[in-house]
């Protein structure tokens, strides 16, 4: 790919970030609010089903909890009956329903003249967030982006990777690579440039703790060029949100004991409490105590309670230790000791928690983490580094393939049911079934005689293709690309969702234009009211007051009016006001 910018996107559970290479350096692109990270939130307003994405969505979450969607990354590529999904449902204030075995967020939206319930898949919500960061990048660059590198946790399974790529397609992005978040972080810190001249290799550990997922990768960098991942570990359900949940649970229990109120079923109160707990957690990274304060929390009760750093650490200590255990097992898988790790890289906002840094420093014998890149931005930064390379066809990484031999178990067997599983457990019932197909046309023979080659190919995005072919000169191969994982979107569904996304983007554009027209009318009304005292002619003043009064009443009574209707009312007011202004200045 050449002739255009390839952006790097960190599609995070709680925040997303976008970066691009320009003039030989990586730039993190600020959004329209001037912030370098964007909340991974989507909301639909109750009155008009207007869609909000990013800061606008998060800022109104407490007062609109059932129509504000967050943590979509925790649902993407998963089944509704997944135990982790079921565990999450008790913390989500918005309704999640089962649609064809997939978790979908059910929201009432405006459709023409009536409101209907619409079930959004996690891919669609993620597509809205990706569309927002794409818009941010294109506004900054002044032109469409040529492609994107999108990051995922290292242990995302095939279904989750494919669903993430589908989300990019729905958003109108050309996703040219899916890259593991720890690999992107290593690129961000330029670890390939840190290999000492007198040594040929360096071992690095990437500890990536974000809002909802935890990754550990141990990698070896040789000759400053070759990145070899020795081992990965992690937890798709461990992150800053879980730390928040512990604090929320603590205060929910305290509210029940101290105030006699059970707020577990009160989505609005829970949303306000969650927001305060998240804020307090951030404050405790640099001070020892913070007050959690919520006016009229429930039944008119003002909630004012302290949260100390010691209490926060006590509530989450087992989770902190869980991350350390993952580090140990990942190092064991890589066959390295803690003293053999040359660099420790911290990624994700949750790595700012002092207790975690202290535990890591102790584990690695006083070794401090790499510095120089903001942990919130490191993954997007590294994705942009790879994007810059790919845009010039440099350092393109080939896929890999593995071939294994199989045979028949019955005499004269002509078909074989081939199923593909992903996981590290010895029994298939404990692993994830990715897909499968029936191989036909096997030469009839005694059991064990036919030889079948099964080829497993993983492309640059980590997406798997499985091919079966009998070892005969005339045999034809049969294959499946595991984009057909049960529950993944079909090509037809993707195309339909692309069109729906375009329609929603157009509706957003119209809604924004309507709001702008409404604001313009409001400004004009107030402008006349401030200037009306300068009119000396009593007849003209009465005419203006009447027109302003009519416009004000119309403004209050027609909040859902279209852009055109607002412009017509503005024109009607201008037709009254402009001639009077002209006479006023002409007379002066």
What SS3 string covers 427-484? CHHHCEEEEEEEECCCCCCCCCCCCEEEEEEECCCCCEEEEEEECCCCCCCEEEECCC
Going 144 to 149 to 152 to 158, the CA torsion angle's sign is positive
**How many CA atoms are closer than 13 Å to the CA of 369, on its beta-carbon side?**
24
- Of 5, 10, 124, 508, catalytic: 10
Dist CA 329 CA 324 (whole Å)? 9
Backbone angle region of 27, left / alpha / beta, with phi > 0 → left and psi within -120 to 50 → alpha: beta
Burial of 107 (0-12, 13-18, 19+ CB in 10 A): buried
Under 8 Å between Cβ of 204 and 228:
no
Rg for the chain, CA atoms, rounded: 29
Nearest residue to 41 (alpha-carbon basis) of 20, 71, 19: 71
Dist CA 458 CA 434 (whole Å)? 13
Tokens of 272: 């306000």
What SS3 string covers 540-558? HHHHHHHHHHHHHHHHHHC
Burial of 453 (0-12, 13-18, 19+ CB in 10 A): middle
Dist CA 518 CA 524 (whole Å)? 10
Under 8 Å between Cβ of 501 and 124:
yes
Active site residue 499: no
Nearest residue to 275 (alpha-carbon basis) of 259, 251, 300: 251
Q: Count other Cβ atoms within 10 Å, centred on residue 469.
A: 17
Dist CA 441 CA 408 (whole Å)? 12
Going edge to edge, which strands form the sheet with 42-44? Answer: 51-53, 42-44, 68-69
Under 8 Å between Cβ of 233 and 155:
yes
Nearest residue to 9 (alpha-carbon basis) of 179, 157, 141, 170: 179
Active site residue 223: no
Nearest residue to 62 (alpha-carbon basis) of 239, 255, 295, 243: 295
What's the first-to-final CA gap in the chain, in angstroms? Answer: 65
- Of 50, 58, 71, 73, catalytic: 73
Burial of 203 (0-12, 13-18, 19+ CB in 10 A): middle
Tokens of 291: 């007050």
- Of 5, 123, 124, 181, catalytic: 181
> Any idea what the Cα angle at residue 86 is, between residues 109 and 256, rounded to 5°?
90
Active site residue 411: no
Helix (H, G, I), strand (E, B), or coil: what is residue 230? strand
Nearest residue to 346 (alpha-carbon basis) of 373, 386, 309: 373
Nearest residue to 217 (alpha-carbon basis) of 366, 379, 349: 379
- Of 50, 71, 135, 208, catalytic: 208
Dist CA 75 CA 213 (whole Å)? 12
Active site residue 48: no
- Any idea which residues carry the catalytic annotation? 10, 73, 181, 208
């Amino acid at each position: 790919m050449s002739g255009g910018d390839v952006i790097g996107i960190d599609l995070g559970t709680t925040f997303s970030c976008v970066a691009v290479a320009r003039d030989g350096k990586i730039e993190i692109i600020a959004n329209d609010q001037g912030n370098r990270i964007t909340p991974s939130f989507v909301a639909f307003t109750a009155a008009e089903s207007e869609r909000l994405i990013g800061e606008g969505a998060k800022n109104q979450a407490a007062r609109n909890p059932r129509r504000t969607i967050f943590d979509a990354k925790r649902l993407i590529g998963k089944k509704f009956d997944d135990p982790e999904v079921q565990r999450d449902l008790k913390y989500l204030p918005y309704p999640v329903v089962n649609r064809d075995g997939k978790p979908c967020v059910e929201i009432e939206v405006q459709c023409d003249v009536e409101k209907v319930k619409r079930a959004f898949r996690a891919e669609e919500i993620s597509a809205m967030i990706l569309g927002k960061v794409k818009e941010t990048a294109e506004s900054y660059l002044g032109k469409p982006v040529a492609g994107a590198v999108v990051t995922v946790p290292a242990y995302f399974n095939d279904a989750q990777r494919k669903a993430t790529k589908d989300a990019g397609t729905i958003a109108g992005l050309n996703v040219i690579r899916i890259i593991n978040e720890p690999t992107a972080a290593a690129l961000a810190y330029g670890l390939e440039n840190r290999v000492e001249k007198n040594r040929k290799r360096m071992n690095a550990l990437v500890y990536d703790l974000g809002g909802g997922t935890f990754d550990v990768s141990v990698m070896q960098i040789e000759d400053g060029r070759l990145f070899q991942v020795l081992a990965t570990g992690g937890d798709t359900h461990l992150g800053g949100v879980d730390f928040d949940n512990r604090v929320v649970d603590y205060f929910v229990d305290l509210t029940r004991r101290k105030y006699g109120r059970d707020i577990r079923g009160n989505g609005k109160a829970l949303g306000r409490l969650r927001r305060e707990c998240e804020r307090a957690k951030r404050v405790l990274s640099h001070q020892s105590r913070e007050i959690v304060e919520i006016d009229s929390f429930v039944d008119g009760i003002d909630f004012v309670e302290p949260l100390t750093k010691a209490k926060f650490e006590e509530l989450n200590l087992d989770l902190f230790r869980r991350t350390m255990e993952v580090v140990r097992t990942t190092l064991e898988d890589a066959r390295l000791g803690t003293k053999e790790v040359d660099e420790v890289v911290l990624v994700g906002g949750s790595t700012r928690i002092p207790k975690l840094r202290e535990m890591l420093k102790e584990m690695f014998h006083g070794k401090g983490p790499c510095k120089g890149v903001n942990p919130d931005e490191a993954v997007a930064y590294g994705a942009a580094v790879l994007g810059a390379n790919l845009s010039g066809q440099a350092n393109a990484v080939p896929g890999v393939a593995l071939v294994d031999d199989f045979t028949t178990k019955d005499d004269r067997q002509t078909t074989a049911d081939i199923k593909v599983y992903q996981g590290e457990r010895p029994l298939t019932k404990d692993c994830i079934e990715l897909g499968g197909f029936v191989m036909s046309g096997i030469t009839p023979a005694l059991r064990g005689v036919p030889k079948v080659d099964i080829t497993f190919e993983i492309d640059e995005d980590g997406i798997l293709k499985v091919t079966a072919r009998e070892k005969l000169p005339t045999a034809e191969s049969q294959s499946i690309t595991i984009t057909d994982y049960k529950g993944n979107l079909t090509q037809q569904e993707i195309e339909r969702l692309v069109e729906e996304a375009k329609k929603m983007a157009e509706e957003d554009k119209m809604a924004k234009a309507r709001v702008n027209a409404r604001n313009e009318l409001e400004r004009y009304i107030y402008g006349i009211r401030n200037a009306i005292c300068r009119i000396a002619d009593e007849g003209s003043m009465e005419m203006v007051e009447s027109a302003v009064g009519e416009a004000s009443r119309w403004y209050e009574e027609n909040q859902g009016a279209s852009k055109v209707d607002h412009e017509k009312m503005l024109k009607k007011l201008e037709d009254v006001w402009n001639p009077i202004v002209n006479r006023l200045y002409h007379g002066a």
